[in-house]
Amino acid sequence: MTSAAIARRETVDALRTVRELWGELLLAIETPPTDVWPPRQLAHTLRASDDEPLVVEDRAPLVLREHPAPLNMTALDTGLAVERLLFDLADTLAAAVQRAGTGDARRWEFQQPGAADARRAAGSRTHGLHFGSVWIEGRVLDEDTAPEQQLNGTPTAPPFDPLPPHLLHEARRTARVAEGRLLRTLGLDERHTPVPDRPCPWCAGELILHTGPDESPSVTCSTGEDCTAPASLDERGRRVWKWGDLVTLITALGAADTHVPAA
């Protein structure tokens, strides 16, 4: 693969991760910062099954919203920073490869600070992060850069030029910075964290929570195969609760919780 193809793929991957995690970040803003346990994703699963509908409105950009009482300032700061990174990147790419021509819905509209109404002032930013990220992905993949035909058969110039290499690399750098910041804020970067105050319900060994950007959280017991938990062994001989088994572990810990006072 050429270096451009690699850069393209890495950029697209990072942008998709950002979109996938965006709803998670919006939830985090409205949720007090969590302890290690239970893992954030699982907390949401449990809450969703608790009759509380999980509604994520992720269209309006954070920068245009009211935040009367964010419960997690770190998450809000990250959200605003990620929006700024991607919106500014879209501005940069649009300035370089977007051809003049109006009325095309594929255009990225710049901010118009002087405009009277807020939506026009924000330009395409008003459509939110998801839109901006998809738009950037289109430029990174050189979409809509071939001449197009009108209904009467007349060829017209495409709305965009292909992205020059230096901007492809700029896009990759920015998308990966945004992705990394989201993963860290959500505690989804690669980590192996001892679970405090909650020993293994079967052997009292130390439980370790494993998270990573490309994997569902899992928990292992440090005791090894002598642990009597009804769980499979991982490649290092530890009892492991994978994503689908974690509810079992949570239930067992909940039963144990009534006997173990929190430190």
* Minimum CB distance to Zn ion smaller for 64 or for 208: 208
Amino acid at residue number 85: L
**Shortest separation between residue 109's beta carbon and Zn ion, angstroms:** 57
**Shortest separation between residue 252's beta carbon and Zn ion, angstroms:** 10
Reduce the DSSP state of residue 189 to 3 states and report it: coil
- Local structure of residue 14 (DSSP, 8 states): H
Please identify which residue in 107, 220, 223, 246 interacts with Zn ion, judged by CB under 5 A.
Answer: 223
Q: Is 128 in the site for Zn ion (CB under 5 A)?
A: no
* Minimum CB distance to Zn ion smaller for 20 or for 226: 226
8 Å CB contact between 218 and 242: yes
* Minimum CB distance to Zn ion smaller for 29 or for 227: 227
Residue 3, Ramachandran bin (φ over 0: left; ψ between -120 and 50: alpha; else beta): alpha
- Local structure of residue 32 (DSSP, 8 states): P
Q: Which residue matches tokens 């088994």?
A: 245
**Shortest separation between residue 190's beta carbon and Zn ion, angstroms:** 23
* Minimum CB distance to Zn ion smaller for 214 or for 235: 235
The terminus-to-terminus CA distance of the chain in angstroms comes to 54
**Shortest separation between residue 86's beta carbon and Zn ion, angstroms:** 43
8 Å CB contact between 122 and 116: no
Window 183 to 222, contacts with Zn ion (CB under 5 A): 200, 202-203, 205, 221
Question: What is the chain's Cα-based Rg?
Answer: 23
Q: Is 163 in the site for Zn ion (CB under 5 A)?
A: no
* Minimum CB distance to Zn ion smaller for 131 or for 202: 202
- By CB under 5 A, the count of residues binding Zn ion is 8
Instruction: Please report the DSSP string for 130-177 in residue order.
Output: HHHHHHHHHHHTTTT-S-EE-TTS-EE--SBPPPPHHHHHHHHHHHHH
Q: Is 256 in the site for Zn ion (CB under 5 A)?
A: no
**Shortest separation between residue 207's beta carbon and Zn ion, angstroms:** 8
Distance CA 183, CA 17 (A): 9
Q: Is 227 in the site for Zn ion (CB under 5 A)?
A: yes
Q: Is 64 in the site for Zn ion (CB under 5 A)?
A: no
Q: Which residues bind Zn ion (CB under 5 A)?
A: 200, 202-203, 205, 221, 223, 227, 229
